[in-house]
Structure 1
C-alpha cells in the first residue's frame, strides 16, 4: 500500500511554495505529494478525493484533524489517515524558510507502518462512588451526584448546618481512612470512631430528645466533649442498636468503583494517584472539575499495558538480598513492589510514565507504548530523512502529548501572533511521546549515533520530581560517555519549562554538539543492552579520541568488580546471586571469573558476599577485554583427607575449622570438616555403627 502526502501552507502563512512542495516530495522519495493553500476550506475536495483511494494518507496539518478524521470514518477509508503539525513546529517560526528538511522528517515518520498493538488493561466501573470528607462538603455533592451515580458517603466530621433526616444514600462516619485499589476495584478501610453508627441509625431523634448535654444534633453524631456518659441515648435507641459506647468491633470496610475525596489533604498523596480516585479538597472550582470527570467514569474502560517485564533479567533481589531497587524507588504511582526475588508491577496502577524502564540497568523492564524498536525506527527515519534533505546538526525535542504538545504549539502561535518569540528552530525536530521519561540511555545514544547533535527532553509541571532526577542522572552517564570518547559539546539536555517563553529561551541557547562523521545504520532492538552495544560500537568506531576506559558516575549501568583476595574464600555466593552471568565459577577449579560486559552494577554480589570482599566501580571498558572472562580470584583446591577428592579451597577449610572447632557439634569430630560431603556421611555412619556395637557388647 502506497502513501499519499497532502501539505498545506495555511493560506500562504508558511513559506512553502510549489518549489518547496517538489523538494519535499523528492526528500520523501515520492511524487504523490500535493501542496494546498486552503486545505480545510476551498480545497477540502482534494482531501475527500484522496479518501477514495486505497492508499494511506498523511496530512501535513492538524488544524481540522477532528473534522477530517470524522470524514474518513464516514467514507470508510481503507487506508490509514495520519496528521502532522508542520505549521506550529516549523512553518510559523523565525527560521521557517530553513525548515523544509524538518518537515520532510516529520512526514516520513508519520508514513511509517503502524506498530503492532500492545496488550490492554481492562477496567469495569458501575458508578458506585464513595464521597469522603467533612459533611459540609460531602452532603451537597452527594445530593447533586445521587441521580447520576450510586452514591455512598463517609463523613470525617460534622457541621451543625447539615441535616441527615433523609436516608437518600448509605452514610458512614469514621477516621483513620485507608484507600487502596483502582477504578472499579477500590477498597476502603476506616475506624468507626463515634458511638452512633449512621448506617444503623433510623433518624427517629429519640437520642436528641433525651440527651441532657445537647451533645447530639441532627448530624446524629455525639459530641464527645459535651457528653458526660449518662447513656440515656442508648436506652432511647433501644433495640435499634445504633448507639454503642463500648463497641469492640470498630473496623469497617467497603468496596467501591470510584472515590471522590473532599478531605483537606488527599488520602492518596501519590504524584500519580490511581485512576478512579479524585481529590478536590475545599476548592469549589476543583470540586466542580473533578465531579465532571467523575460522572464520565462509568462503564468499561481500557488502557495500554505500558510495560514488559522479563523476570529472568531482573537484578532486584536474590536470596532475600535487595540489589537493584531503582524501579521501585522511582515509581510515582506505587505500581511496583518487592515480590520475593523479583518485582511485581500492577498494570492497573501503572500510568505509563516509563521511568522504571529508563532506570532499569538490565532491560528486565522495557517500555511498550511505543516499544523501543518502534521508537528507534522513528528516530532513525526522522534523522536520516532530515540529513538526506540537506539539513544539518539536527536536534530531537522529546515532549509529552499533553503539556509538552501545548507548549510547542504555543511557541509557533505566539511567534505568528506577536513576533516576540523565535518559534521552533529549523533544526529542532519535535518527537511526541505519551511520557517524556520513558526514553533512556539506549535511545539517546542511538540517536546521537544516527546523527543527532542534541537530544532534548522537555519536562513540565506534569512530571514527578523523581522522574526529573532519574532522567538527569541517566543523561549525566550518557554525556560522560560521549565526552569521554572525545565528542565535543553537550549532547543531552533536560529542559524544565512551564511557559512558551521559557521553552523559547532554552531552544535559542542550544548549541550543536559534535556527532560521528558517519551516521549509523543499525536498528534499535528490543534488548536494552544489545542496543547499547550497537550504539557504543558505532560511537567508538568514529570517536575523535579512542580511550580504553571511561570512568562513570555513581549509578551507572556499566562497571567492574574488584575482589579482596585476602578476604575472599571463593564460596561463590556472589556467582550464585549474579543475575547477568557477569560473575561465574569454574566447575574444574576454584576460580571466580568475571565478564565486565555483562555487569549491570546491581550490587547483589557486594551485598551477598559474607566476607565483604567485593567492591563495585562504575566505568565503561571500551576494549575487547570487556567481553572476555578474567579471573578475579583463584586458589589451590583442598583435598579430602579421606578420598583425596578436591572439594574446596585451603582458605575456606582453614576458616571453617577455625570457627567451628570449639563448637560442641564438631569439637570431637574436627576431621570431618576436612572431608568432602560424601566421606563426611560415610564417616558419620561408620562411627554410629561402632557406637552401636559397643553398646551391645557392653550390655552383654
Structure 2
C-alpha cells in the first residue's frame, strides 16, 4: 500500500511552499508534495481527490480533523486516513523555518501500518452506585443521581439540617469503611455502630418524640454524646426493632458497580484509584464534574491489557525469599502483588502507566500499549526521515497523551501568536499513554538509532515513585554513556506544569552544549525482549564509542553487575544456582565449579540472600564485549571420587566436612564407608548388605 500526503500552510502561516513540498517528498520517498494554503476550505477538492482509491492518506492537520473525517464518510471512502499535527508541533514558532526535517519525521511516522491489536480487559457495570460520606453531601447528590443510577447511600455522619427522604433507595449508616475492587465489582464493608438501623427504621418519628434529651432528629441517628440512656426510644420503636443499644459493632457490606466517595479524605488513598471510584471530596465543582462522569459509566466497557508477563524470567522470589520487588513498589494502583515465587498483576486495577515494565530488570514485565517493537519502529522511522531531510541533532520529546499533549498544544498555539517560542526545530514530540512506560532500553535504543537527546516530559500528573524511578534509570543510562566517552546530558527529565514553564525548560535545554553521539546510526530493530534490545544498543554504542571501555562502574541499584564469591566460605552447595532465575549462575555437570555469565545477571540479589554461608556479594557495573557472554569460574574445588566406582560426585571439602561431622554419629558409625560412595553405589552397597544378611539368616 502506498501513501498519499496532504499538507497545508494553514493560510500561509507556516513555511510550506513548493520548495518545502519538494524536500518533503524527497525525504518521504515519494513525489514532490504540493502544499495547499486552505486545504479545509478553498482547496478541499484536492483532499477529496485523494480518497478515490484505497491508498493510505496522511493529512498534516488535526485542527480540521472532524471536518475531513465527515467528508470522507459522506464520500464513503475506504482509504485509511491518518492525521498528524504539523502546525503546533513545529509549523508555528520562532524556529518554524528550520522545522522541515521534523515535519518529514512526523509524516513518516503517521504513514506506518496499523499495529496489531492488544488483548482487552472487560468491565460490566449495571449502574449500582454507592454514595459514601456525610449526610449533608450524600443526600442532595442521591436525589440528583437516582434518575440515572441505582443509588444506595452510606452515611458516615448525620446532619440536623438534612432529613432522610422516604424509603425510595437503600440507606445505611456506618464507620470504618473499606473498599476493594473495581468498576462493576466493588466490595464495600463497614461497621454498623449506631443504635438505629436505617434500613429497619420506618421514619415514624416515635423515637424523636420519646427522647427526653432530644438526642434524635430527622436524620434518625442517636447522638450518643447527648443520650441519657433512658431507652425510651427503644420502647417507642417497639416491634419494629430498629433501635438496639446492645448492638456491638456489626459488620455490614455489599457489592456495587460504582463508588461516589464524598468523604473529606478519599477512602482509597492511591495516586491511581480503580476505575469506577470517584472521590471529589467537598469541592462542589469536582462533585458535579465527577458525578457526570459516573452517570455515564453504565454498560459494558473495555480497556487494553497494558502488560505482558513472563513468569519464567521473573526475579521476584524463589523459595519464599524476595529478590526483586521493583514492580510491586513502583505501582501506584496497587495492582501488583506477591504470588508464590512470582508476582500477580490484576489487569482490572492496572491503569497502564507502564512504570512496572520500566523498572523490571529482566523484562519479565513488558509494555503492550504500544509494544516495544511498535514504538521502536516508530522512533526509528522518525529519526531516519529526519536525517533524510537534512536534520541534525534530533531530540525526542516523550510526553503523555493526556496533560502532556494538552500542554504541547497550548505551547504551539501561544507560539503562533508570538507569545512563546514554541518547540525547537530539532525537538520531535512522541506521544505515549504514559511517560513512565519507556525506560533505559527505549532511550539507549533511540540514541543508537541517531537521537542526540531524549527528553521526558513530567507534567505533574505522575506519581512521585514514577519520577523517582525515571531519575534512577536516567542516572544509569548517563553513567553508561559517560563511561563510553559520550559527553553531555543525553537523557533529560523536563518538569513543567504549564505551556509557559515548558517553553522555558526547552529554551534552557537548547542552551546546553551539543552531546556526543555514535558516528553511525544503528540498523537493528528494537526487540520485544528488553535485555536483547539493550545488548544490541550496548554493542553499537561500544563499537562507535569515543573512548571504548569494556567495564563501566554503575550506581547502586543498577540492573547490571557482577557476582563475587568468597571461595574460603563457599562449599559449592549450588543453592545460588537453583535460586538464580536468569541462568546467570550455573554449575558444571562434569566438574565441581560455580560459573557466572554476567550479561544474564539482573542484580536481583536472590543468590546473595539464598547462600547459606553468606559467601556472595554483588557489585553494580556493566561488562561489555565477549567477556560478559562467556561463563567465568567463580569457585571450584577438587572433586571427590567414589571409593567404589571412582566417579566424581562431590567436592573433597564437602565430603571431608560431612565425614568429620557424621563419623561419630551412631546412625553412621557402622556405615561410614557408604558416605564416601556416589548415590548409585550407596544403593548397590545397601542391597549387597541386605543379601549378605539374608544368607546369614538362612544359614542359621
Query: Is the contact between residue 207 and residue 232 of structure 1 (CA under 8 Å) also seen in structure 2?
Result: yes
> CA separation in 2, counterparts of 1:232 and 1:690?
94
Q: Is the 8 A contact 1:5 1:34 kept in 2?
A: no
Q: Is the 8 A contact 1:58 1:107 kept in 2?
A: yes
Question: Equivalent residue of 2:129, what SS?
Answer: strand
Query: What secondary structure is seen at the aligned counterpart in 2 of 1:35?
Result: coil
1:21 matched to 2:21? The reply is yes
1:370-395 Cα shifts (integer Å, max 9, x gaps): 11101101111100110111011110
* Structure 1 counterpart of 2:453: 454
1:642 is displaced (CA, Å) by 6.4
Q: Does structure 2 conserve the Cα–Cα contact (< 8 Å) formed by 1:4 and 1:32? A: no
Shift of 1:647: 3.1
Query: 1:225 aligns to what SS in structure 2?
Result: coil
TM-aligned CA distance change 1:203 to 1:660, over 3 Å: farther
Say if 2:524 is the partner of 1:522. yes
* 2:480 alignment partner in structure 1: 481
Q: Given the alignment of the two structures, is residue 535 of structure 1 paired with residue 534 of structure 2, yes or no?
A: no
Q: Secondary structure at the match of 1:5?
A: strand
Report matched runs for 1:79-94 at 5 Å. 79-94=79-94
SS at match of 2:297: coil
Q: What CA distance in whole angstroms lies between the structure 1 residues aligned with 2:194 and 2:691? A: 73
Find the counterpart in structure 1 of residue 278 from structure 2. Answer: 278
Q: Could you tell me how far apart the structure 1 residues matched to 2:96 and 2:603 are?
A: 46
Quote the residue 2:306 is aligned against: 306
RMSD: 2.4
* Partner residue, 1:340: 340
| Aligned-pair CA distance for 1:194 | 1.2
2:78 alignment counterpart: 78
Name the CA distance, whole Å, in 2 between partners of 1:651 and 1:283: 72
Mapped contact 2:577–2:586 kept (Cα < 8 A): yes
Residue aligning to 2:179? 179
Distance 1:22 1:221, change over 3 A: same
Q: Kindly report which structure 2 residues correspond to 1:167-566, keeping only aligned pairs within 5 A, or say none.
A: 167-247=167-247, 250-417=250-417, 419-510=418-509, 511=512, 512-566=514-568
User: Aligned pair in 2 of structure 1 residues 690, 204: CA closer, same or farther (>3 Å)?
Assistant: farther
- Mapped partners of 1:304, 1:312: distance in 2: 23
Q: Aligned partners of 1:671 and 1:195: how far apart in 2?
A: 79
Structure 1 residues 219 and 566: CA distance shift in structure 2, 3 A: same
Q: Say whether residues 1:56 and 2:56 are aligned partners.
A: yes
Q: Name the stretch that deviates more: 660-669 or 1-10.
A: 660-669
Q: Is the 8 A contact 2:59 2:81 kept in 1?
A: yes
CA contact (8 A) 1:582 1:597 kept: yes
Deviations 1:27-72 (A, max 9, x none): 1111273311112222223222322321211110111112322333
Deviation at 1:644, TM superposition (A): 5.4
Distance 2:369 2:586 in 1: 36
Count of residues in correspondence between the two structures: 697
Partner secondary structure for residue 282 of structure 2: coil
Larger displacement relative to structure 2 (135-144 or 548-557) = 548-557
1:674-685 → structure 2 map (5 Å cutoff): 676-677=678-679
Matches within 5 A, 1:96-107: 96-107=96-107
More deviation in 406-415 or 386-395? 406-415
**In 2, are the aligned partners of 1:559 and 1:599 still within 8 Å (CA)?**
yes
Shift of 1:131: 0.3
- For residues 220-268 of structure 1, what are the alpha-carbon distances to aligned partners after superposition, in whole Å with 9 as ceiling and x for unaligned? 1111112233333333333322222233571111111100000010011
Mean alpha-carbon deviation: is it higher for 317-326 or for 682-691?
682-691
CA distance in 1, matches of 2:438, 2:544: 24
Deviations 1:464-511 (A, max 9, x none): 111111111111111111111111211110101111222112212223
Contact 2:18 2:33 in 1 (8 A): no
Q: Distance in 1 between matches of 2:126 and 2:329?
A: 34
Q: Aligned in 2, Cα 1:452/1:246: closer, same or farther, shift over 3 Å? A: same
* CA distance in 2 between partners of 1:655 and 1:578 (Å): 26
Q: Does residue 589 of the first structure (1) align with residue 591 of the second (2)?
A: yes
CA displacement 1:306-345 (0-9 Å, x = unmatched): 1111111111111111111111110111111111111111
Moved more, 331-340 or 655-664: 655-664
For residue 627 of structure 1, what is the aligned residue in structure 2?
629
CA contact (8 A) 1:165 1:218 kept: no
| Equivalences for residues 662-681 of structure 1 within 5 A | 676-677=678-679
Taking a change above 3 Å as real, the CA distance of residues 691 and 247 of structure 1, as seen in their structure-2 partners, is farther
Partner Cα separation in structure 2 for residue 651 and residue 101 of structure 1: 68
Structure 1 length as normaliser, TM-score? 0.95
Query: What is aligned with 2:572?
Result: 570
- Report deviation, 1:213: 2.6
- Cα distance in 2 for residues equivalent to 1:188 and 1:663: 60
SS of equivalent residue, structure 2 residue 416: helix
**Which SS does the other structure have where 2:34 is aligned?**
strand
Is residue 2:645 matched to residue 1:650? no
Quote the residue 2:145 is aligned against.
145
- SS in structure 1 of the partner of residue 563 of structure 2: strand
Question: How far did 1:683 drift?
Answer: 7.4
Name the SS of the counterpart of 1:61 in structure 2: coil
TM-score by length of 2: 0.95
Q: Within 2, Cα distance between the matches of 1:143 and 1:694?
A: 96
Query: Are the structure 2 counterparts of residues 280 and 56 from structure 1 closer, same or farther at C-alpha, using a change threshold of 3 Å?
Result: same
3-state SS of the aligned residue for 1:106? Answer: helix
Quick one: structure 1 residues 506 and 639, their matched pair in 2 at CA, closer, same or farther if it must change by over 3 Å?
same
SS in 1 for 2:7: strand
Partners in 2 of 1:215 and 1:84 — Cα distance? Answer: 66
1:8 aligned counterpart, secondary structure = coil
Q: How far does the alpha carbon of each residue in 1:417-463 deviate from its partner, in whole angstroms, 9 at most, with x for none?
A: 2x242111111111111111111111111111111110101011111
Decide whether aligned partners of structure 1 residues 670 and 433 sit closer, same or farther in structure 2, where only a CA change above 3 A counts. same
CA distances 1:263-309 after superposition (whole Å, capped 9, x unpaired):
01001111110110000111111111111111111111111111111
What's the CA shift for 1:693? 12
CA contact (8 A) 2:18 2:34 kept: no
Contact 2:95 2:425 in 1 (8 A): yes
CA distance in 1, matches of 2:71, 2:32: 21
**Aligned 1:607-626 pairs, distance under 5 A:** 607-626=609-628
1:58–1:81 contact (8 Å) kept in structure 2: yes
Shift of 1:216: 1.8
CA distance in 2, matches of 1:161, 1:663: 84
- Does the CA-based 8 Å contact 1:94-1:422 persist in structure 2? yes
Tell me which residue corresponds to 1:136: 136
Aligned equivalent of 1:599, options 582, 598, 601: 601
Distance 2:297 2:363 in 1: 35
